[in-house]
Amino acid sequence: MTVKVAIAGASGRMGRMLIEATLQSPDAVLAAAIDRPDSAFIGRDAGELVGNACGVLIGSDVETELAKADCLIDFTRPEGTFAHLQVAQKLGRAIVIGTTGFDADGKARIAAAAANIPVVFAANMAVGVNAVFKLLEVAAKMLSTGYDIEIFEAHHRFKVDAPSGTALRMGEVVADAIGRDLRQHAVYGREGHTGERDAETIGFATVRGGDIVGDHTVMFCGLGERVEISHKGGSRMPYAIGALRAAAFLQGKGKGLYDMQDVLGLR
């Protein structure tokens, strides 16, 4: 069944990639494209942003545009996502949320919305990254004793949150697998005389620079050996393709909160 999608943040980097992926997909139709009211692209053909005019004009009224679609795909900012969630609930539309940077209260708001509409919310939509999540679960259980756990991530200079949502999710997966509470054991920076490393901690290191799409590595560091599980993103297309799979997954689904593990059948 073909899913009709609306794309939020149409003129942004991820918005353009989503438009391109949708126009190339045999299973999705671009029904609407949404941008901020002050965007210079309002009224323009969304396809022109990726060199392929399609007849769908970019609009700013979320309710008007979302009414044309089955599902909204949102990779914007938390404040924008919350506004879009309200409209999706009003119209009874599904939503795929790839936005990152939510705090605990924000995640609770998304979960509350999922009591009314179907929602896919994931720290990372790429199929490869979600395969890594599964591998990390297995590795962490095997390497839970005698190995220090460190998580490295690198992204482009424009990313506004750190560590990345993907890195944090990696930390959660590892911590859950070995029975630790990430909130108690995470270390987000080291400087000066830090003392000997606490074996129970899970460390995070962040790099921001240039146009790095997204690199993530989890290291299990033992005495005399190191196991690394990595994912390196060469473009944003994998995230767009995963988001379209999520939108198709929601077709016919009732209200509820899902993630990419559900979409990919990895539960």
Say yes or no: 74 and 175 in one domain: no
Say yes or no: 118 and 138 in one domain: no
pTM above 0.75, yes or no: yes
pLDDT at 14: 95
Catalytic residues: 155, 159
Q: Domain of 192: which CATH number?
A: 3.30.360.10
Say yes or no: 112 and 73 in one domain: yes
Say yes or no: 134 and 78 in one domain: no
Q: Is the peptide bond before 163 cis (omega within 30 degrees of 0)?
A: yes
Q: What is the pLDDT of residues 233-250, one digit of tens each?
A: 999 999 999 999 999 999
**Range of the structural domain that residue 161 is part of:** 127-233
pLDDT at 108: 97
How many domains, in total, are found in the chain? 2
Say yes or no: 120 and 143 in one domain: no
Contact at 8 Å (CB) between 10 and 72?
no
User: How large a percentage of the chain has pLDDT more than 70?
Assistant: 100
Say yes or no: 102 and 199 in one domain: no
Say yes or no: 26 and 91 in one domain: yes
Q: Domain of 121: which CATH number?
A: 3.40.50.720
Q: What is the pLDDT of residues 127-138, one digit of tens each?
A: 999 999 999 999
Say yes or no: 119 and 243 in one domain: yes
Say yes or no: 7 and 90 in one domain: yes
Say yes or no: 92 and 109 in one domain: yes
CB atoms within 10 A of CB 182: 16
pLDDT average, residue stretch 210-238: 96
- SS3 for 210-223 is CCCCEEEEEEEECC
Closest CA to 240 of 22, 5, 48: 22
**What 3-state DSSP class applies to 183?**
helix
Say yes or no: 227 and 244 in one domain: no
The residue ranges of DSSP E strands in 25-93, in sequence order, are: 28-34, 58-59, 71-74
Residue 267 in this model has a pLDDT that exceeds 80: no
Say yes or no: 10 and 117 in one domain: yes
